[in-house]
Amino acid sequence: MTLAPDPETKRKSFVNVQKKPLSECPQLKVIRIDGSIFFGAVNHVAEQLDQITKNYPEQAHILIVGGGIKLHRCRRMPNAQPGGPSPARERTPDLPQLPQREVVEVMKRGGCNKNIGEENVFHSKRQAIKSIVPRLDPERCRRCKVRIFYECAQMPGG
Tens digit of each residue's pLDDT (9 = 90 or more) over 57-104? 999 899 988 766 665 544 333 433 333 333 333 333 434 444 456 666
> Which residues are CB-contacts of 130 (< 8 A; sequence separation ≥ 6)?
151
Beta-ladder partners of 61: 28
Select the more confidently predicted residue: 93 or 110.
110
Record the pTM. Answer: 0.74
The alpha carbon torsion through 53, 55, 58, 64 (nearest 10 deg) reads: -50
The alpha carbon torsion through 51, 57, 63, 64 (nearest 10 deg) reads: 0
Q: What is the pLDDT of residue 43?
A: 79
What HEC string does 35-61 produce?
Answer: EEECHHHHHHHHHHHHHHHHHCCCCCE
Select the more confidently predicted residue: 12 or 38.
12
Q: What is the pLDDT of residue 123?
A: 79
- Please compute Rg for the chain using Cα positions: 18
pLDDT at 146 over 90: yes
CA-closest candidate to residue 128, choices 137, 119, 140: 119
Total residue length of the chain = 158
Give residue 118's pLDDT band: very low, low, confident or very high (50, 70, 90): confident
